[in-house]
Structure 1
Amino acid sequence: MLIRLLKNWYKVLLSVFGPGKCAGCGQIAEEGLLCGVCRAALQQPLWLPARDALDGAGMLFRYSGALKTALQKVKFDSRREILELLAEEYCQFSAADWPGALRGILHRRAVIIVPIPTAQQRVKARGFDIPLVLFEKPGAGHCLTPALARTRETLPQYDLRPLERRLNLEGCFAVTQNVAGKTVVVVDDIFTTGATMEEAAKALKAAGAAEVYGLAFCGSIENYGAGQ
């Protein structure tokens, strides 16, 4: 109820003060972070094949341009208001434009959506957990199930080479809920090498999950699977 009231209040403010500016070109953006032209240019609904314990992964946007800058501000400057706009972008992504395989998976009755947990030290520093805010938006059409937890702190991934990323994450996830026989979709903000989702999938499969897929808000796939 409170979330709905806040959303309505935001729309009233928007109608009074006008829409914001697109982070890509500076033109009017009616909703979210981008105007329609910049949004279309950054949409990248890709589906990647299975690798290791991960049965496939999809992404919605390209990790570049205004989206890359926005996520860097969220991560390094704790800009939650920008993350809220990115969550609007996620909700606005047309279901018809999602990767076909992912549409079918998300419509299954037994599927659960599990956010990749962020290291607690970074959650405390920012004041929020990026995947939780990004994907648990009213209007997203699903609820998140926090079935994963970090067993230890890890180094930030952005300064690590592909093999170092895998070693950094090895054994860092524990399953906290019953996932036996279930189809799981793990969600995260950025996908690059795939190391984070693959390590999460490994833990979930060891706990009995039947299938584990990934969904990233945006990604850069040049290094997918690197560091084997």
Structure 2
Amino acid sequence: MKKVIETFLNILYPRRCPVCHDIAVPVGQRICTTCRDKLKPITGPRCYKCSKPLAHGEQEYCENCKTTHYFDQGIGIFTYGSVLRESLFQLKYGNRQEYGVFYGQLAAYYSKNQIRCWNPQIIIPIPLHKKKMAKRGYNQAEIIASALGKELGLKTDIKTLQRTIYTNPQKDLGYRERKKNLEHAFEVRGKLPWKNILLVDDIYTTGATIDSAAKVLKTAGAEKVYFLTVGIGTDA
């Protein structure tokens, strides 16, 4: 009966492909068969710290991770290229919230072994400031984190870590400007009950956002802070 209902809903409200944004073909699939090959997870050598793809196998760290980070380790699932950039833009600004569920489920599939090794107690999505949340109506990181957590059997918390300062968009800023932009942007509300935390966001470029959140969490008592993002930049 459940399968019949799902089939009916897929016909009535067909899914959009996150790559081409048309109705996914065949109907009921999450991504078009012809588009699947355009969205491939990262393979090959990666930075040991942030997981950015590296040009040379003998490298251990990307240029950005030669400096100190507050997070312990992280993983990005896809390279943040043109296909993913447009898809995440539609998720964030085009109200394609179903893309967040799709990416959360896919991230769980590709990262489950790594996350089990980290053994986090909780998943915390990077929060939006209340003004941005009111304007957009949803937090894309929260949607991704919720879908990821459901797949892996991990709880998600959206109350403890809060964004208290409205910051300028990060995309047009350099690394130092990004860090300065995020100073004091986050705070922990109440007592932090977890020692091992997984942060989730849609994109990792310089790591300034993740680092700022990780710093606040560690100041509040966290011992290990890891991260997962759907997209990640390449080595500088």
For the residue of structure 2 that corresponds to 1:42, the secondary structure is coil
1:71-97 deviations in Å (ceiling 9; x for gaps): 12333xx322x23123223213463x3
Structure richer in strand, relative to its length:
1
Distance 1:210 1:163, change over 3 A: same
Task: Give the aligned partner of residue 167 of structure 1.
Answer: 180
Task: Give the aligned partner of residue 226 of structure 1.
Answer: none
- Stretches of structure 2 that go unaligned for 5 or more consecutive residues are 51-67
Instruction: Note the C-alpha offset of 1:124.
Output: 1.3
1:161-185 deviations in Å (ceiling 9; x for gaps): 2211111001211012433561011
Instruction: Note the C-alpha offset of 1:32.
Output: 2.7
Task: Give the aligned partner of residue 49 of structure 1.
Answer: 49
Matched, 1:104 2:114: no
- Please tell me whether the aligned partners of residues 47 and 57 of structure 1 are also in contact (alpha carbons under 8 angstroms): no
Matches within 5 A, 1:76-87: 78-80=93-95, 82-87=96-101
Matched, 1:13 2:30: no
Distance 1:58 1:153, change over 3 A: same
Distance 1:67 1:31, change over 3 A: farther
Task: Determine the C-alpha separation between the residues in 2 that align with 1:175 and 1:203.
Answer: 7
Task: Determine the C-alpha separation between the residues in 1 that align with 2:4 and 2:100.
Answer: 18
Task: Determine the C-alpha separation between the residues in 1 that align with 2:86 and 2:195.
Answer: 36
> Which one of 25, 29, 33 corresponds to residue 28 of structure 1?
25
Matched, 1:145 2:157: yes
The two structures have a TM-score, normalised by structure 2, of 0.75
Instruction: Note the C-alpha offset of 1:8.
Output: 8.3
CA RMSD of aligned residues (A): 3.1
Distance 1:18 1:181, change over 3 A: closer
Distance 1:22 1:83, change over 3 A: closer
- Stretches of structure 1 that go unaligned for 5 or more consecutive residues are 224-228
